[in-house]
Amino acid sequence: MKTLGHWIGGKAVESVSGNAAPVYNPATGAQPTQVSLASVDEVDAAVDAARQAYADWSQSSLAKRTAFLFKYRELLDAHRDEIAELITAEHGKVHSDALGEVARGMEILELACGITEKLKGELSTQVSNRVDVSSIRQPIGVVAGITPFNFPAMVPMWMFPLAIACGNTFILKPSEKDPSAGYRLAELAAEAGLPDGVLNVVNGDKVAVDRLLSHPDVAAVSFVGSTPIAKYIQSEAVAHGKRVQALGGAKNHMLVLPDADLDFAADNAINAAYGSAGERCMAVSVVVAVGDTGDELVAKIADRAHKLRIGPGDDPASEMGPLITREHRDKVASYVGGAREQGADVVVDGTGYSVTGHPECADGFFLGVSLLDKVSPEMDAYRDEIFGPVLCVVRADTYDEAIHLINSSRWGNGTAIFTRDGGAARRFQLEVEAGMVGINVPIPVPVGYHSFGGWKDSLFGDLHVYGNDGVAFYTRGKVITTRWPDPAETGGINLGFPTSS
């Protein structure tokens, strides 16, 4: 069995903690790998390597940083299939979806390649007599990223390319469920010429997380995961004086108005609800059918759901793969039975699903897609973030009722409206309480040069990830006021408050 250790100071490091966790192939249920779980001392070693590397990297020229980033981008492009295969093997998502993940992560790397533009300062001349004022942005130090299992390559790439482009050094703590993609990203960074210690990977569990949150040399922490853990990350990081951005869970609504193209809406509901087996924080988990659209829309979604091909991610015919673990699969399945008991109509029941044509998948963590109609806000399937291939349909008589329903949610990550009415769409984008809004776009994940993040219980901290917010998070501002007096002038004493005159 393969054992995955850590990447510290530019080289592979075998763990001496004696603790390890299983890494499964979700399609087969087999365990080909185990991942080492770092001790406090091993986390400290990674922080020390990053701290030592920071002295030189923070003073490196923008030309040197961008030269690395461009080379790294070329190397990742050449290895994108390999990285996608690692994602499929440990997460389970189909290969095409894994390739898409790598591509979206590389958008942030491409943004980082233009860091010279993002770090340009400002200058105001002659603000007072012979006085100029300039502002610059500088790196903040050693920063850490704690990333989730559902996007083992993309979410790390949301963080470390911008962080190191800004002059920081980075410690990645990937999910212990699928750590190989993040580890491979660090290996390729070293191959592209990144100096030792600038990017480190520490595999681990809560022991590693807590040490990163408390270590005095870690200046900032980025996190993506569930809302309860995001709250914990924020409180612990702030208690130890750190800057923090912590992205939590979601319950994303897709509002469908009566004038919408229902075939188009049904296609997009399927894509957004069941892609990546629903293990996306931006997945549509609730369709809000307004007026008399419900029956027809549900029928169209059900017809498409029955035709989805579910199987191992390395089979090109598969459109959806397994869930990440057996325990998670069983938890997701329990919501379907629970919804039936609480009064919902189970239009499509994906529980008890088994893959055909792949005997090696008999013990895989597969679950079919489920469609629940006439769900009410009091039901567990509506209130909880299920994080699986379960789509709820809620009926609303009017737009006002629908927008009130959406805005009453404790989450505010992403939302979408499907309509042909530009006025209704404009009203929705202004009235809805969510950080990311799609108009006839079901998963409105911003491109790399706009920032990603939600509202309410979907975000803890002031700044979103990547885009301009990402640059701001990984830098701190400094304002410099300069006077070069005329040699012929005399000074004099003035105890009054200085003014710009």
Q: Mind telling me the catalytic residues?
A: 281
CB 336 within 8 A of CB 350: yes
Tokens encoding 64: 């040197």
Cα 233 to chain centroid, rounded: 15
68 within 8 A of 39, measured Cβ to Cβ: no
Tell which residue, 152, 141, 182, has the closest CA to residue 59. Answer: 141
H or E segment and range at residue 138: strand 131-139
What residues does 144 pair with on adjacent strands? Answer: 171, 221
Structural contact between residues 361 and 311, judged by C-beta atoms closer than 8 angstroms:
yes
Residue 482 sits at φ, ψ, to 5 deg, of -125, 135
How many Cβ atoms are within 10 Å of 465's Cβ, its own excluded?
Answer: 24
* Interatomic CA distance for residues 378 and 243, integer angstroms: 36
- Judge residue 327's burial from the number of C-beta atoms within 10 Å of its C-beta, 0-12 exposed, 13-18 middle, 19 or more buried: exposed
- Rounded to 10°, the helix 422-431/399-407 angle is 30
> Residue 286's beta-bridge partner residues?
253, 392
How far apart CA 289 and CA 255 sit, in angstroms, is: 6
Q: Please enumerate in sequence order all residues whose Cβ is within 8 A of that of 218, keeping only pairs 6 or more positions apart, or say none.
A: 47, 141, 142, 143, 144, 171, 212, 242
Q: How far apart are CA 348 and CA 370, in angstroms?
A: 5
487 by Cβ neighbours in 10 Å (0-12 / 13-18 / 19+) ranks as exposed
Pairing of strands 411-412, 475-483: unpaired
How many degrees, rounded to 5, is the angle at CA 353 between CA 347 and CA 354?
155
Both tokens of residue 184? Answer: 């491979």
Q: Which two tokens stand for residue 177?
A: 């469920």
Q: How far is it, in rounded angstroms, from Cα 498 to Cα 501?
A: 9
Distance, CA of 323 to CA of 319 (rounded, Å)? 13
485 exposure class (CB count in 10 Å sphere: 0-12, 13-18, 19+): exposed
The dihedral through the CA atoms of 20, 24, 29, 31 has a sign that is negative
